[in-house]
Structure 1
């Protein structure tokens, strides 16, 4: 049996802007996304049987088509006409319902592993096309690094790699509903938008301070009051402990603060960790 284990890296939104609702029901987005070192491990094995089997360690997640890793395997098989058996094992570290693309990262890792095992000459662009059928963040997770994402998030432009920064990621003990936030965004005037152009210029210049000054997420404006207050509390705590900036990632509920030094980032994570708040020290990758 052929097998492959690959990392599935989490992402952070350095910016996230909602430009409006489209005729197809989706929202037009413009955001800068960055992979970080926090990752799941994804092992894919080709078996003698048929169909896709999945096991998950470290989280309570479905193992059927509701799991994006399974959905990705099925999409790959359909696209390439592959009919063999596939076994997937996910070792989860990325928190769920955090805005860190944990499910999409797993799906992208499955696609990369299947490409290596079955069709090693398949181009990245084709893999991203398959990923777009699975979820809006999957193409980014296939590509990784520092990317401008537009459309639903599937239209990517490669950017200069971000300066070396550490992120203290804080995940509070409540989920945020992405569909509910999008619905709320349709009823709220989004007045405090990120300056994506300024962040792109900071990346081009390799200016970490200017990058941090441009980090912003419009979803914070449309959170329900209780959740928004909790997110603001976490942001303040990160800033008090020396973060150069702090923001929610994606539709939440994880919040991150950026630091220049690893030891400072680790100290902050230890100081803020509690029964109600998971913390992770990560680095841009």
Structure 2
């Protein structure tokens, strides 16, 4: 028997960092939504007690560093599963891009193995497991659009934003998330107005949504990767309705109301970066 799960990428419409907590994590406030760029996870039971990972991307680790591997091992250890699993990852989401690709793979693995091994776990139970793997995994269990707080693990699902086109551009040089947070200067943060974003989504107001995108980490990440600012500038020049970095970067995305506008942004950026994607937000 084989179980197939899609693992969609996410973008941050809003990302705010409120303060550093006593446990070393940062208190976050985010609005995230899924886009139709997705990895494909195929899961098959093995009689041997092994976790075997395959991937179409040669840069993805296939051992315990892999998020899907961590998810499978966590389920096996927690529920004393003696069978193994073969996990095949058809990779479409760029690696280390701020799009939650690894977290989405982990979430898809948790959902898929829940079905494959007949564990009958609720989403709430899967979320508690996902928290142990990464801060974005709880959101990825649900997907769609959500307001996230805590370190990202407290999820409140909300209505989808007005559907639009999204152009994703990943610069060649990546950014390590922990290095962005390690030296974060709270005095330099520009805080987005999250409440206004939530209201714009509730009212299906595309104009207000694009006016209220914001990412408090962007300034810090742009110091490490100057292409973030260059890409944003070009996106606006080519007619994007909004341009913003996703997560801790380095991927930058453009929001476009019409396909023709998105196509213009896409074509304009294709010559600037190798990894450019034209997708839509998911309903």
Output the TM-score relative to the length of structure 1.
0.95
- How far apart are 1:119 and its partner, in Å? 2.3
Aligned to 2:111: 112
Residues 41-82 of structure 1, C-alpha deviations (whole Å, 9 max, x = no match): 111111111121111112411111100000001111222221
Q: Which whole-Å CA distance do the structure 1 matches of 2:27 and 2:75 have between them?
A: 26
Corresponding residue for 1:164?
163
Question: CA 1:277/1:217 → structure 2, altered by over 3 Å: closer, same or farther?
Answer: farther
1:204-219 equivalent positions in 2, closer than 5 A: 204-219=202-217
Per the alignment, residue 62 of structure 2 pairs with 63
Change in Cα spacing, 1:263 to 1:81, as seen in structure 2 (3 Å) is: farther
Gaps in structure 1 of 5+ consecutive residues? none
SS at match of 2:217: helix
The equivalent residue for 2:231 is 234
Gaps of 5+ in 2: none
- What residue in structure 2 maps to residue 38 of structure 1? 37
Q: CA deviation at 1:226?
A: 5.8
Q: What's the counterpart of residue 189 of structure 1?
A: 187
2:9 corresponds to which residue?
10
Map 1:66-105 to 2 at 5 A.
66-105=65-104
SS state at 2:32 partner: strand
Write the distance in 1 (CA, Å) between the matches of 2:41 and 2:261: 30
User: Residue 131 of structure 1 corresponds to which residue in structure 2?
Assistant: 130
1:259 and 2:256 correspond: yes
CA contact (8 A) 2:29 2:149 kept: yes
SS in 1 for 2:218: helix
The CA deviation string for residues 9-64 of structure 1, in whole angstroms up to 9 with x for no partner, is 00101111111111111111111011110011111111111121111112411111
2:173 aligns to what?
174
Name the residue aligned to 1:283: 280
The Cα shift of 1:128 comes to: 1.1
Aligned residues: 282
**8 Å Cα contact 1:48/1:85 also seen in 2:** yes
Distance in structure 2 (CA, Å) of the matches to 1:141 and 1:75: 17
CA distance in 2, matches of 1:239, 1:132: 36
SS at match of 2:262: helix
Contact 1:198 1:214 in 2 (8 A): yes
Could you tell me which residue of structure 1 aligns to residue 269 of structure 2? 272
Cα gap change, 1:209 to 1:224, in 2 (>3 Å): closer
**How far apart, CA to CA, are the structure 2 residues paired with 1:198 and 1:259?**
19
User: Is the CA contact (8 Å cut-off) linking 2:169 and 2:273 kept in structure 1?
Assistant: no
- TM-score of the two chains, using structure 2 as the length reference: 0.96
1:52 corresponds to: 51
Distance 1:209 1:120, change over 3 A: farther
Alignment of 1:137-148 (within 5 A): 137-148=136-147
- Counterparts of 1:118 and 1:158 in 2: how far apart (Å)? 27
The CA distance in 2 between the partners of 1:139 and 1:164, in whole Å, is 23
Q: Is the 8 A contact 2:238 2:264 kept in 1?
A: no
User: Aligned partners of 1:162 and 1:198: how far apart in 2?
Assistant: 13
